Chain A
Amino acid sequence: MQITIKYFGLLSEVTGCKEEVYEFSGGSIAKLIDELYVKHPSLRNKEFQVAQNQELVPLKTELISNEIVLLPPFSGG
Chain B
Amino acid sequence: MDNKKPKSVFKQGAISSEFIADSIAKHQTKTSIGAHNIFLGQVRADVIQNKTVSAIEYTAYEEMANNKFHEIREATFEKFELTCMHIYHSLGLVKAGEICLFVFVSSPHRKMVFEALEYVVEEIKSKVPVFGKEIFEDNSHQWKINN
Contact = CB atoms under 8 A, between A and B. Distances in A.
Nearest to A70: B61
Contacts of A77: 41, 89, 100-101, 121, 124-125, 130, 146
Query: How many interface residues does chain B have, given as a range?
Result: 20 to 34
Tell me whether chain A's interface is mostly helix, strand or loop, or mixed: loop
Nearest to B142: A10
Query: How many interface residues does chain A have, given as a range?
Result: 10 to 19
Nearest to A47: B145
B58 interface: yes
A69 B61 contact: yes
Interface in B113-147: 121, 124-133, 143-146
27 contacts: A8-B61, A8-B129, A8-B131, A9-B133, A9-B143, A51-B129, A54-B61, A54-B64, A54-B67, A55-B64, A69-B64, A71-B129, A72-B131, A74-B125, A74-B128, A74-B129, A74-B130, A75-B130, A75-B144, A76-B58, A76-B124, A76-B129, A76-B131, A77-B89, A77-B121, A77-B124, A77-B146
